[in-house]
Amino acid sequence: MGLGYATPQDPTKVGRPILPRPVFGRENRVYTGVVHYRSEREYSTVMNRGARIAVGGILVLIGIAALLQYAFGFGSDEEYEHTVPLGDGVREIKIDSASLDLDIRFTESVSGENTVHVKGKAASRIVNRIRSAEVTDGVLHLGFAEPWQWSLNVSLFQAMNGKQTVTVELTEDAMSALESFRVNTGSGSLHASGAAARLIVFTSDSGGIRIDGLRSDAATVHSDSGSIRLERFEGGSLRLRTDSGSIHANEVSALLIASSDSGSVTIDHLTGTGEIRTNSGSIRVAKDDDTGLDVVSDSGSVRITVPASFGGVYDAASDSGSVSHPEPAGASGEVIRVRTDSGSIRIEH
């Protein structure tokens, strides 16, 4: 059949208007209203089938989760309390956690015994591991993380996200003899107070770190994605680093090295020299002594407060930003050096 067009009705006549539409042969009837309606029904059927497949997939995942719970004991959490005797020969304490929050406290032993007391709520497998922990060759290892958590980073079982309280009770002699204290967490938060050892290392993959009172010859605090907040540090050197997160330290007496790829850095009451870096973030430092400082910010303002007794010189420059500082006394060899690519610099008493 050839291609033709129906003649439109006279618009002056009363009645339902008939719009012109193409008339095709049998092989081209995909444009008729009937086939359009059938296509819509077929589309709806396909969408319903996709929805059923999606729901089925979700049910399968739920079934797998239930199987894991049954096979590995997920969800069967229990409250526990356990004390690990340390004796007099402990040299190192290591703690690993994945999604569990940690609250670690160092206290002086009143009984004359050296112990680690652990309390919290966790999966049975973790509890059993803690109860079987003991000092081996001078090292105590408390493992709160399941191996599968490290590789798969599974944290959908919210029942495992409880807080574990770890109390380290040491005599004065044992605390001064402790060579190393290391804590590593995954996504759980970390709080530590009163920790003391010759070497201290705190690391977190994704979780905030808060520290109250720290004494060490060399301490390192590193968070991949999370803030660091520290109150009171006394020792030889302190390193603070975040890949993404802010740093706030107060009352630091040590050589300080602090850096953040993306986040602000605030240091209050710093006694000792410091090296501070940010790629993107502001820097605020308040010095309590007359030692020097080296500060670099790629993108962010810098503000430094020094004592009126500071007798060194100021070396400050910004590619794009204002620079202000007091008149240098030049009586000592100490230098406050500041560089910014984009951001103002302000040094004041």
Q: What is the pLDDT of residues 1-59, one digit of tens each?
A: 444 444 455 544 455 555 555 544 444 444 444 455 455 556 566 556 766 677 677 77
**Span 267-282, average pLDDT:** 98
Res 185: pLDDT = 94
148 has pLDDT over 80: no
Q: Give the model's pLDDT for residue 62.
A: 62
Give the mean pLDDT of 70-85: 75
Distance CA 312, CA 287 (A): 13
Q: What is the dihedral of CA 147, 153, 156, 157, to 10 degrees?
A: 20
SS3 for 65? helix
pLDDT category, 149, cuts 50, 70, 90?
Answer: very low
pLDDT of residue 180: 98
Residue 104's contacts (CB-CB under 8 Å, 6 or more residues apart) are 95, 166, 167, 168, 183, 190, 191, 192, 193, 195
Mean pLDDT lowest for which of 3-7, 73-77, 250-254, 312-316? 3-7
Q: For the segment 190-204, what is each residue's pLDDT rounded down to a tens digit? A: 999 999 999 999 999
Number of alpha carbons in the 13 Å side-chain half-sphere of residue 295? 35
Percent of the chain with pLDDT over 70: 75
Q: What is the pLDDT of residues 150-192, one digit of tens each?
A: 444 444 443 445 789 999 999 999 999 999 999 999 988 999 9
| Mean pLDDT of the residues in the chain | 85
For residue 314, pLDDT over 90 is answered with: yes
Give the per-residue pLDDT at 42: 60
16 vs 313: CA distance, rounded Å: 93
Helix, strand and coil in the chain, % to nearest 5: 20, 50, 30
What does the pLDDT read at residue 3?
Answer: 47
Residue type, 261: D
d(CA 157, CA 150): 14
* Domain residue spans of the chain: 29-72, 78-199, 227-349
Question: What was the pLDDT predicted at 153?
Answer: 43
Which spans in 73-188 are helix H? 124-131, 147-152, 172-177
- Strand bridging mode 293-299 / 335-342: parallel
Closest CA to 96 of 178, 244, 205, 226: 205
**Sign of torsion, CA 235 241 245 246?**
positive
pLDDT of residue 155: 45
pTM of structure: 0.77
Is the pLDDT at 139 greater than 80? The verdict is: yes
